[in-house]
Amino acid sequence: MRKAPTILHLDMDAFYASAEQASKPSLRGKAVVVGGLGPRGVVATASYEARVFGVRSAMPMAQARRLAPNAAYLVPRFALYKSVSEQVMGLLHALSPLVEPLSLDEAFVDLEAAGAAWDRDSARRVGERLRTEIRAVTGLTGSVGLAASKMLAKIASEEAKPDGLVMVEPGTERALLGPMPVRTLPGVGPATGDHLRRAGITTVDELAEAGEDELVRLLGKAHGHGLYAMALALDDRPVVAEREAKSVSVEDTYDVDIHDRVRVGTEVRRLADRCVGRLRAAGVSGRTIVLKVRRYDFSTLTRSETLRGPTDDPGVVREAAARLLEAVDTTGGVRLLGVGVTGLADYTQEDLFAQAAGERAELEAEEVAETPLAREEPAQERRWPSGHDVRHAVFGHGWVQGSGLGRVTVRFETPDSEPGRVRTFRTDDPELEPAEPLPLVRVVPSSDPPAPSGPSGPPGPLTASAHRGRGAVDGEAQVSSEPAIFPKSRSGKEGGAAPSSP
């Protein structure tokens, strides 16, 4: 392990919810919950004000509404989050070529790779400057952890939240980790946590005291061995730069669990065809076909099959997916199905689903947009998802506060306005139309003619002053490739998710 705390972990604070509060002055300081608002919706992010009521990520939306009935409930605006993410990742890439994104708002950076930092003082300076830059460029706050290993850097950023920086001095790792619950360690999920608790092990210290032999006996060789090393704070995993996006997947959630085996087969075939459509649209082909099945009890299985050569043949993908399905027990019902293809021959299933896990909140929130019920909503209702941007011919830019019964309520405000007023319109009012998100930080055009904005509407070029001399950062943000060609926010294209109850 390295001697200096030069691995940085950045995690934006309550990212989606903070972006919404930055966009919507009337929601600042208020409880905000972003996620799927349909019957199967889950919380993607809750603002700190909502967390006070016990609302947490991945919680069913119905439970969140019971805990915080007066919070603002908003449908995610992924185009905005993605453009802010590109700005943040651009700042990270300016520090080091070794940036490993874990999700839209979270990444490891190896500060030693390009000499950005070499000891604790330089690392702290870089971390603080990064936080300042993130705030200047995005208007949002991020927390930074610095340590000599990835594991400790991530734990440190968690400790730093919100809006802070924590450095774990080399040599103090074990003392810090010791009293923490075993679940703090990477790879200890609920099942392993329960298993260890039954063996009387609840803290990292107890894990270390149990000894390697005992952990191998309890958890098997690979897991026991790895966990023992983690308990001793030994983590040599390198920061791995993001690889080129070469995976494509699609998935659907069903409002009513599917029990009929024939119907499951039909759905998988349909997903395989959709997946191939995306594969071809992206101009890639893949060797490994992956099937994902979430069952009635929320247990999720993934199965994969690697072919001899890459394919984008619908027949081949369909057959492989059907073979994989044969090996999955679906009695009891299926609530989600997914089919994916990995494009790189050396891409492992683990890589794909590590990325998938990173995007999980995003996908979960999107599921609402894909449910058959949502698709059957009348067109005029679907145009107004809560929280999404609109423009009125007379009143200007605003966002949907709620809709239903042929009415849509709009609050007219922008990121740099005062909290705005609310007005109600008919859902088919010809003067009201969906709009693109506005940038969170007002953009001052540079003297050079700006490049045209991308289709997702990223904020335009930033001023040099906002970058503190890093004029090229925005360009780099554009260059950085996406973590994966995962399902994009279809809510935008298809007109949005189910309308919320007002």
Q: Is 88 one of the binding residues for Mg ion (CB under 5 A)?
A: no
Scanning residues 102 to 141, which ones bind Mg ion (CB under 5 A)? 105
- Cα–Cα distance between 138 and 89 in angstroms, integer? 11
Part of the chain binding Mg ion (CB under 5 A), chosen from 19-27, 50-58, 100-108, 363-371: 100-108
* From 20, 106, 112, 367, active-site residue: 106
CB closer to Mg ion out of 105 and 413? 105
Among residues 15, 78, 108, 425, the one that binds Mg ion under rule CB under 5 A? 15
CB closer to Mg ion out of 92 and 317? 92
Query: Which amino acid is it at 239?
Result: V
Query: DSSP string spanning 193-208?
Result: HHHHHHTT--BHHHHH
Is 11 labelled as part of a ligand binding site? yes
Minimum distance of Mg ion from residue 105's CB (angstroms): 4
Q: Is 166 one of the binding residues for Mg ion (CB under 5 A)?
A: no
CB closer to Mg ion out of 107 and 408? 107
Beta-strand pair 142-147/247-258: unpaired
CB closer to Mg ion out of 85 and 342? 85
- Cα–Cα distance between 251 and 359 in angstroms, integer? 13
Q: Is 11 one of the binding residues for Mg ion (CB under 5 A)?
A: yes
CB closer to Mg ion out of 15 and 353? 15
Judge whether 373 and 36 are in contact, CB under 8 Å: no
Minimum distance of Mg ion from residue 355's CB (angstroms): 16
Minimum distance of Mg ion from residue 4's CB (angstroms): 25
DSSP 8-state symbol, 185: S
- Cα–Cα distance between 314 and 306 in angstroms, integer? 15
Query: DSSP string spanning 377-436?
Result: S-HHHHT--TT-EEEETTTEEEEEEEEETTEEEEEE--TTSPS-EEEEEETT-TTEEE-P
Minimum distance of Mg ion from residue 44's CB (angstroms): 11
H helices of 418-487, in order, are: 464-467, 473-479
Scanning residues 282 to 341, which ones bind Mg ion (CB under 5 A)? none
Part of the chain binding Mg ion (CB under 5 A), chosen from 13-21, 246-254, 277-285, 461-469: 13-21
- Cα–Cα distance between 146 and 112 in angstroms, integer? 12
Q: Considering only CA atoms, which of 465, 461, 495 is closest in space to residue 383?
A: 495
Residue keyed to tokens 């009387």: 200
Name the 3-class secondary structure at 255: strand
Part of the chain binding Mg ion (CB under 5 A), chosen from 4-12, 107-115, 173-181, 279-287: 4-12
CB closer to Mg ion out of 15 and 399? 15
- Cα–Cα distance between 419 and 153 in angstroms, integer? 38
CB closer to Mg ion out of 50 and 336? 50
Minimum distance of Mg ion from residue 307's CB (angstroms): 37
Is 105 labelled as part of a ligand binding site? yes
Longest dimension (CA), the chain: 72
106 is a catalytic site residue: yes
Minimum distance of Mg ion from residue 390's CB (angstroms): 28
Part of the chain binding Mg ion (CB under 5 A), chosen from 47-55, 75-83, 99-107, 166-174: 99-107
- Cα–Cα distance between 182 and 200 in angstroms, integer? 11
The first and second tokens of residue 266, run together, are 């039909």
Part of the chain binding Mg ion (CB under 5 A), chosen from 3-11, 143-151, 197-205, 223-231: 3-11
HSE-CB of 333 using CA atoms within 13 angstroms: 10
Minimum distance of Mg ion from residue 437's CB (angstroms): 19
Task: Tell me phi and psi for residue 57, to 5 degrees.
Answer: -60, 145
Q: How many residues at the interface with Mg ion, by CB under 5 A? A: 4
For residues 186 to 215, the per-residue mask of contacts with Mg ion, x marking binding by CB under 5 A and - elsewhere, is ------------------------------
The first and second tokens of residue 231, run together, are 């308990």
* Residues of the binding site: 11, 105
* Residues of the binding site for Mg(2+): 11, 105
Catalytic site residues?
A: 106
Binding positions for Mg ion, rule: CB under 5 A: 11-12, 15, 105
